[in-house]
Amino acid sequence: MTAMEFEVQLLAVVVAVACALPGCFLVLRRMALLSDAISHSILLGIVLAFFWVQDLASPVLIVAAAATGVLTVALVEALHATRRVKEDAAIALVFPALFSIAVLLIARHAGDVHLDVDAVLLGEIAFAPLRRFEWNGVDLGPRSLWVMGIILLLNAAFLALVYKELKLSTFDAGLAAALGFSPVLLQYAFMSVVSVTAVGAFDAVGSILVVALMIAPPAAARLLTHRLPLLLLLSALIAAASALLGFHVALRLDASIAGCMAVATGVLFFLALLLAPERGALARILLRHRQRLEFAGLMLTIHLLNHEGTPRASEENRLGHLPEHLRWSRDFALRVARHVEREGLVIQGPGDRLELTPLGREAARHLMVR
């Protein structure tokens, strides 16, 4: 691994984790779509600030972009407050307007600068190590690594500082307001953090993939845990894993690193969706399967109890009779019989007679009186 490859991977992990941390609260606050809006509209801030300072490396760009992000949130909320449009519609009205102005400005006035659309959409993480941060002639590493590192620290510090307040206002904004923690203030502080993160990450992975990094890892982690601290930790781990996975796949395929990182977040989310221990699709299928078997088993004990000791018992309480009487397939009847036997509710008598154990009789009676 060359030094440059190492730097790109380190940057990718830092970007991913910096995005995933505020992303957790975006997902919990049901504001995922707002990250999409912010990551687009910040472009306007970047373009306007660039026209002013004529320097792509200036920190003014970050400040201006973050301000546009907060402006986006304010406009969305103002539009929503009119109650003429729903929140999703308000988002969809605001950010394309700001984004398209930015695109027009680039096309008209910045044709010769490298602010081209490819860079905007996908970023250029592979070239990030080329722009160095030098101080007194000493090379201190890639500039964007410093920027994103600082943003990551800021995000972590912000969440640590107002963890309690953010949690409360996310869970119950009414109580937060009643206790004197202004949900509006928290909202704007949080959205500023999201905006700054989006600006920083924009440089590395482009405006669209920021959304994938902010939303997919927390959404995957949400399927894996019901504890907030663990949610934050798992999101960060999944984000970091996506970054590394994406980098190596991109190297193999000779494809866009940022694109592969986004695909990796999607793949990991899909795996979580499939395999999560409690909320995953597989777990649900297994649960439904087991419940069906259990229910059928109880039905069987009731059937056996009903006919127990009657003249027709030897006829009714046979395994071979079940498909006819309970309308089960032969195969399913066999599985149910095996299940109740395992549970100790029924034993197989001579022939294919089924007989209740005392435990099974008890269970069936209990069900009948309920």
Taking CB under 8 A as the criterion, the residue among 164, 252, 312, 370 binding other proteins is: 164
220 binds other proteins (CB under 8 A): no
Q: Residues 16, 221, 65, 206: is their CA dihedral positive or negative?
A: positive
Q: How many helices (H) and strands (E) does the chain have?
A: 15, 4
156 binds other proteins (CB under 8 A): no
235 binds other proteins (CB under 8 A): no
CB of 226 to other proteins, least distance (A): 4
121 binds other proteins (CB under 8 A): no
Cβ nearer to other proteins, comparing 168 with 191: 168
- Residue 142 — φ and ψ, nearest 5°? -65, 140
CB of 337 to other proteins, least distance (A): 33
226 binds other proteins (CB under 8 A): yes
Site string for other proteins, 262-301 (x = CB under 8 A): ----------------------------------------
Quote the radius of gyration of the chain (alpha carbons, Å). 30
Q: Tell me the C-alpha to C-alpha distance, in Å, between residue 294 and each of 102, 197, 288, 300, 301.
A: 61, 50, 10, 10, 11
Secondary structure class of 193 (helix, strand, coil): helix
Cβ nearer to other proteins, comparing 78 with 253: 78
81 binds other proteins (CB under 8 A): no
Total Cβ atoms within 10 A of residue 12: 29
CB of 160 to other proteins, least distance (A): 10
How far is residue 94's CA from residue 125's CA, in Å, rounded to a whole number?
Answer: 28
Name 186's Cβ contacts closer than 8 Å, sequence gap at least 6: 162, 165, 166, 169, 176
Name 364's Cβ contacts closer than 8 Å, sequence gap at least 6: 298, 301, 302, 304, 305, 356
Closest CA to 224 of 168, 280, 172: 280
Taking CB under 8 A as the criterion, the residue among 133, 181, 188, 332 binding other proteins is: 181
215 binds other proteins (CB under 8 A): no
168 binds other proteins (CB under 8 A): yes
* Contact range with other proteins by CB under 8 A, out of 222-230, 317-325, 326-334, 349-357: 222-230
CB of 47 to other proteins, least distance (A): 37
How far is residue 232's CA from residue 211's CA, in Å, rounded to a whole number?
Answer: 17
Secondary structure class of 226 (helix, strand, coil): coil
Residue with structure tokens 């309480």? 317
Cβ nearer to other proteins, comparing 30 with 366: 30
84 binds other proteins (CB under 8 A): no
* Contact range with other proteins by CB under 8 A, out of 10-18, 104-112, 175-183, 280-288: 175-183
89 binds other proteins (CB under 8 A): no
As to burial, measured by CB atoms within 10 angstroms (0-12 exposed, 13-18 middle, 19+ buried), residue 361 is: middle
Q: Which of residues 20-79 bind other proteins (CB under 8 A)?
A: 28
Size of the site for other proteins (CB under 8 A): 25
List contacts with other proteins (CB under 8 A): 28, 83, 161-165, 167-168, 170-172, 174-175, 177-181, 222, 225-228, 231
